[in-house]
Structure 1
Amino acid sequence: MSAINTLSITVFVFFCFINTVSGQNKEQEHKAIKKVVNQYLVGDTQKQFDTLKMAFHENAMMKYVSSKSGYQEYNALEVFKGDIGREPEKNRANEINYVDVTGRAASVKVTVTYPDRVVVDYVNLLKIDGRWKIVSKIFSLKN
C-alpha cells in the first residue's frame, strides 16, 4: 500500500472518530439541556421553588408583552418565589419542541398547554462553570 493511501485511510478514520465523538458530545449536551428545562417545567408545574432554583441562574430574567401594560421584565426567581405555597397545577401539558445549541449557548422552545390557553416559552441557557443554567425566558400566548 502506498504512503498516500495509508495517509488517506488514516485521515478518513480520524474524521470518522471526530464525527462520532462530536455526535456523542452533542447528544450529551442536548440531554443535559433538556434536564435543566425539565427542572423548570416540573418546578413550575408542581410549585417547587427549590427545583426552579436548580434550573435558573440567580439573575435570569423573564420578559413578555402584556396586552394591558406593554413590555414587562422581571427576575425569574423572584416571580417564582411568589408561587411558594400555591397548589400544583393540574391539566397542564409541557412539551419541549426543539433544542438549538452553539458552543456554550442554547435556545429551547417549549409549549405549555392548559385547557383554556397555550403558552409558548423561548428559554435561553448558557453553560456556566460547566453547568447549563437558564438565563432568560420570553413567552407569549399562542394565537
Structure 2
Amino acid sequence: MKIKITLIVILLFSLAIKAQDRKLDSTAITSSIHTYIENFFENNFEAMNSSLHPRLAKRGFNPDGSLSEDFPPGKLKELMATKPKFELRHQQNTIDILGVFGNMASARLRTGYPNQRWTEYIHLLKEDGQWKIINVFWEFSPKNN
C-alpha cells in the first residue's frame, strides 16, 4: 500500500511540475511575441531582434493579395528606419497560443494600425532555454473588420 501511495504522490508531483513548465513556456512565448511586435511598431530594432531567430522568415499577403517580399531581420531593420513610430499606448495586440510541442510553438497575433489591421501566424522555437520567432506569415484584415 505504501508503494502505491508513493507512486501516486510521485505521479501527482510530476504532473504539477509539467503544468508549471507549460505555464512558464506560455508566459515566455507571449513575452517573445510582445517584444517583437511592440518594438517593431516603436522602431526599436535591437530590442525586437532579441526575440527573433537569425533565420527568421517573415512574409505575407499584401493588401492586393500578392505575396510580399521576404523580410529577414536585416530587411526589417531597413524597413523600421523609414516607417513612422506607433507608440505602445495606441497598440492593440492580441496573442493566442495555438499549440506547444516540445521545443516548438505556434501562435496567432492580431495587430495593426487603427485603420489597417492584420493577423500574423507565428512559429517559435525554444533554443538555449529561450523562445525565438523563426517564422511569421501575415494577412491583412478586410477593411470592414
Distance 2:117 2:38 in 1: 17
1:68 positional shift: 4.1
Partner of 2:133: 134
Higher strand share: 1
Deviates most, 64-73 or 87-96: 64-73
1:85 positional shift: 5.4
Distance 1:73 1:107, change over 3 A: farther
Q: Partner of 1:93: helix, strand, or coil? A: coil
Within the candidate set 78, 86, 99, 1:89 is matched to 86
Distance 2:98 2:61 in 1: 24
Within the candidate set 18, 25, 28, 1:22 is matched to 18
The structure number with the bigger radius of gyration is 1
Does 2:54 match 1:55?
no
Distance 2:113 2:38 in 1: 15
Q: Note the aligned Cα RMSD (angstroms).
A: 1.9
1:62 positional shift: 0.8
Percent identity (aligned): 21
Within the candidate set 4, 7, 18, 2:3 is matched to 7
Amino acid corresponding to residue 36 of structure 1 in structure 2: S
Distance 2:59 2:82 in 1: 24
Partner of 1:106: 105
